Amino acid sequence: MELTQERLDALRREFDSIDQDGDGYVTEAELRAHFPDLPREAIGALNSAADVDSDGRFSLEEFIRLNGA
Ligand SMILES: [Ca+2]
Ligand SMILES: [Ca+2]
């Protein structure tokens, strides 16, 4: 699936809204704060699958990849 510019912009906005301290990375704590109803195991699974470079947080690039890039 090819990402349109529009879709990329929407993902970037979503990423920015989850990245509460604005450091350009989404941590597990920020994910949990943004999705309070998500069970802990789901976030753990999400993390291991999507954290490509295993630094324990999401970059925008990883977030975009996670969402179908
Ligand atoms: Ca952050
Ligand atoms: Ca990472």
Domains and their CATH numbers in the chain: 5-66 (1.10.238.10)
- Structure tokens of 46? 């999400």
Q: Which ligand is nearest to the CA of 51?
A: 2
Instruction: Give the model confidence (pLDDT) of 9-43 as tens digits.
Output: 999 999 999 999 999 999 989 999 998 998 888 88
60 in helix, strand or coil? helix
| Nearest-angstrom CA–CA distance, 54 and 37 | 24
Q: Which ligand is nearest to the CA of 58?
A: 2
pLDDT at residue 1 is higher than 70: no
The CA 2 to ligand 1 mean position distance, Å, reads: 27
